[in-house]
């Protein structure tokens, strides 16, 4: 029985984006992903054409049709006039949960934290990311942090459901509610309240400062961690980096009926066009996408081939370590090595 | 010539506070600190007597008179009615700079980051710590982040001056101004502008997510780091912890004509009264205080004796590692060991 191809929207992005996207698409297509790609343009070129959001109106049509978005990192121009496209997309299509798995690949990728295997569940629409900022006087600037009950409930429930579904044992919550008693206090209180409905799971809360310290020092003590947007932004970069490289983590942005998949790192303009970048983050984003569109067998194939490539010591510059790695390769060669191992 | 004793205000705090304060005072007095101690009560007991700020009016008189405050950690009761005393004190007496040195003590204290030697200069009065929060509707809560020009200018200048005075080479700035273009943007812009006046120092800026990731992974790449209040709160705990323990870092809170010295960790109520706590953070706070009141010779004596104690493998539980440490001791025995080495 021949299945219909699943339509997905793809954006090649800026900086190292096009290179890692090409690598990722080559890999998943070689693995037999049954997809129909609709390419849209976003980011720098679109900003430069005068669209302050970095996306053109018709691109939304593609997203609304496919409801699945594989997105490379983009560059937002500096300066007050431009909105972060990442944030706009997350908000317009309601991607409230940002799932960022960070696991070490010891002994294949060198890390100081060989036993780390955590899932960061980051709230993805609220907090200081609401983008409400103003200059009140010549001397005073302000930004509004917003935490809502419905938004908090959704993300906390998502974290507990995720933990249950994937056989995780513990859900930890980070907030700074000794200072932000109302906003972070709401997040913490809802964690406690909703947690009651999950007696099968261990629950734990840390103030974000000491929680972050424990995360950086003994990440193996954590399992699933749920937190407001900004802490999740900072601490998922920390967690990914200490597995070996921020280039190793992919992320799923989930909403009701919509999903976007991406690497957690940025567009690294200084490394663009040099066949240097590690495409792993986007490849893992694509693996999550394949599961989402019910092609788990293809996802498994890609994931295994990717793992074998790392195991064979075929490493991009960011994870290459004399002694541990065997061959330093570029983006294309890394993708080819994965394809050979499919 | 007998010098007049220098008056200082001391608060024993809550949780492990009294134990580490006693240890610290025993040590600096044995070392010959020429001080006259005025003890004030703050924290839990005061909150419970109905003072929502955790401090009684007359305690301010002591602070206004001595202008030097050695403070143990306190516990702020949970719930909306209580203000953080830490924050109140910092704001009322204008302690705009929070200096948090984090250095590893390799090979004496086990750490994954043997070459780390950084100074975090944390803005100490603004940001989300302004404490302006409200519940707008049943479903929506808000907190205001405030960044001002004068506040930012003071802390950035402090960081550069500090770097120059202590022979540091580089000052790094962390902000999230790709999202908070106005507030964090102001901080970043002032860093660039004021940095121009310090051509002798290397300057560097990172977005706080990837900056935090680098800090947790390769802290030896940093020197002085200046940042807004909340990032500084989180990342100084991270930095201290990865030197070996959050119990190893002390901090100086500096204002114009006022200064407060403390450990960076909290009151750890669960460990209170058990002679377990590592007093090092407060001891190092006191060392900074002794320098501040022009008793640098005593400060040096204390610092050397503390270092020798660690070198001799006499370690509290938090830094005790089989193989590396020699003797696991409690708070009192650790203090005695330092005193013997003065
Ligand atoms: C590029 C930036 C807007 C984005 C964020 O802050 O969310 C990125 O850092 C991420 O973590 O996906
Ligand atoms: C106790 C708390 C209010 C305080 C802070 O957030 O500043 C503490 O974490 C610190 O870092 O000194």
Evaluate whether residue B232 is within a structural domain: no
Q: Which of B85, B308, B117 is nearest to B225 (CA)?
A: B117
pTM of this structure: 0.95
| B contact test, residue of A133, A189, A233, A319 with most B CBs within 10 A | A133
On whether both B199 and B294 belong to a single domain, the answer is no
| Better-predicted residue by pLDDT, A92 or A259 | A259
> Could you tell me the pLDDT band of residue A136, with boundaries at 50, 70 and 90?
very high
On whether both A185 and A173 belong to a single domain, the answer is yes
DSSP A289-326: HHHHTT-HHHHHHHHHHHHHHHHTTEE-TTT--TTT-S
Asked, as a colleague might, if the bond just before A107 is cis with ω within 30 of 0, I would say yes
Q: Verify whether the Cβ–Cβ distance A142 to B138 is below 8 Å.
A: no
Which pLDDT score is estimated for A86? 87
**Half-sphere exposure of residue B146, counting CA atoms within 13 Å on the CB side?**
18
DSSP E strand boundaries for chain A: 6-11, 35-40, 68-71, 97-103, 117-123, 133-135, 140-148, 170-175, 202-207, 224-227, 250-254, 259-263, 314-315, 327-328
Which chain A residue's Cα is nearest to B87?
A179
A73 Cα nearest atom in ligand 1: 1
pLDDT tens, position by position, for chain B (342 residues)?
567 899 999 999 999 999 999 999 999 999 999 999 999 999 999 999 988 889 988 899 999 999 999 999 999 887 767 888 888 889 889 999 999 999 999 999 999 999 999 999 999 999 999 889 999 999 999 999 999 999 999 999 999 999 999 999 999 999 999 999 999 999 999 999 999 999 999 999 999 999 999 999 999 999 999 999 999 999 999 999 999 999 999 999 999 999 999 999 999 999 999 999 999 999 999 999 999 999 999 999 999 999 999 999 999 999 999 999 999 999 999 999 999 999
> Could you tell me the pLDDT band of residue A151, with boundaries at 50, 70 and 90?
very high
On whether both B250 and B310 belong to a single domain, the answer is yes
DSSP A88-129: HHHHHTT--EEEEEEE--TTTS--S-TT-EEEEEEE-S-BGG
**Ligand 1 midpoint to CA A233 (Å):** 6
CA–CA separation, B260 vs B100, rounded Å? 12
CA–CA separation, A186 vs A155, rounded Å? 13
**Distance from the B135 Cα atom to the nearest Cα atom in chain A, whole angstroms:** 7
> For A158-167, how does the pLDDT look when each residue is reduced to its tens digit (9 = 90+)?
999 999 999 9
> Could you tell me the pLDDT band of residue A78, with boundaries at 50, 70 and 90?
confident
> For A201-223, how does the pLDDT look when each residue is reduced to its tens digit (9 = 90+)?
999 999 999 999 999 999 999 99
Domain boundary among A203, A226, A243: A243
Percent of chain A with pLDDT over 90: 90
Quote the number of domains for chain A.
Answer: 2
**Distance from the B254 Cα atom to the nearest Cα atom in chain A, whole angstroms:** 21
Domain boundary among B165, B195, B225: B225
Domain boundary among B196, B225, B254: B225
Which pLDDT score is estimated for A3? 72
CA dihedral (B284, B287, B289, B293) in degrees, to 10, reads -170
Evaluate whether residue B238 is within a structural domain: no
In the sheet that holds A202-207, the strands lie side by side as A35-40, A6-11, A68-71, A259-263, A250-254, A97-103, A117-123, A224-227, A170-175, A202-207
**Ligand 2 midpoint to CA A133 (Å):** 25
What are the backbone angles phi and psi of residue A146, rounded to the nearest 5°? -120, 130
Which pLDDT score is estimated for B82? 81
On whether both A87 and A123 belong to a single domain, the answer is no
Q: How far is CA B140 from CA A175, A265, B319, in A?
A: 17, 31, 43
On whether both A18 and A57 belong to a single domain, the answer is yes
Q: Which domain holds residue A77?
A: 1-102+247-342
Which pLDDT score is estimated for A77? 83
Which pLDDT score is estimated for A83? 83
On whether both B248 and B100 belong to a single domain, the answer is yes
């Amino acid at each position: 029985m021949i299945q219909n191809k699943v339509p997905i929207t793809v954006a090649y992005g800026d900086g190292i984006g096009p290179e890692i996207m090409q690598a990722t698409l080559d890999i998943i297509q070689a693995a037999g992903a049954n997809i129909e790609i609709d390419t849209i343009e976003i980011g720098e070129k679109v900003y430069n054409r005068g669209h302050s959001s970095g996306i053109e109106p018709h691109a939304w049509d593609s997203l609304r049709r496919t409801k699945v978005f594989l997105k490379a990192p983009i560059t937002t121009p500096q300066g007050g006039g431009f909105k972060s496209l990442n944030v706009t997309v997350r908000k317009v299509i309601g991607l409230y949960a940002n799932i960022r798995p960070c696991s070490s690949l010891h002994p294949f990728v060198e890390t100081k934290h060989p036993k780390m295997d955590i899932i960061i569940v980051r709230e993805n629409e609220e907090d200081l990311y609401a983008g409400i900022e103003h200059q009140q006087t010549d001397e005073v600037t302000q930004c509004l942090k917003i935490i809502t009950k419905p938004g908090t409930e959704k993300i906390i429930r998502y974290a507990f459901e995720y933990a249950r579904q994937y056989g995780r044992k513990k859900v930890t919550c980070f907030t700074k509610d000794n200072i932000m008693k109302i906003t972070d206090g709401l997040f913490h209180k809802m964690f406690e309240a909703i947690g009651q409905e999950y007696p099968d799971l261990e629950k734990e809360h840390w103030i974000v400062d000491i929680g972050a310290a424990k995360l950086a020092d003994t990440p193996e003590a954590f399992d699933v961690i749920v937190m407001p947007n900004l802490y999740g932004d900072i601490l998922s970069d920390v967690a990914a980096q200490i597995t070996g490289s921020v280039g190793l983590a992919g992320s799923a942005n989930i909403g009701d009926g919509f999903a976007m998949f991406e690497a957690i790192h940025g567009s690294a303009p200084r490394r663009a066009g040099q066949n240097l970048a590690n495409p792993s983050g986007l490849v893992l984003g694509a693996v999550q996408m394949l599961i989402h569109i019910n092609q788990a067998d293809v996802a498994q194939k890609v994931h295994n081939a990717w793992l074998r490539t790392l195991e064979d010591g075929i490493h991009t510059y960011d994870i290459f370590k004399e002694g541990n790695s065997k061959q330093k390769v570029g983006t294309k060669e890394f993708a080819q090595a994965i394809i050979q191992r499919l």
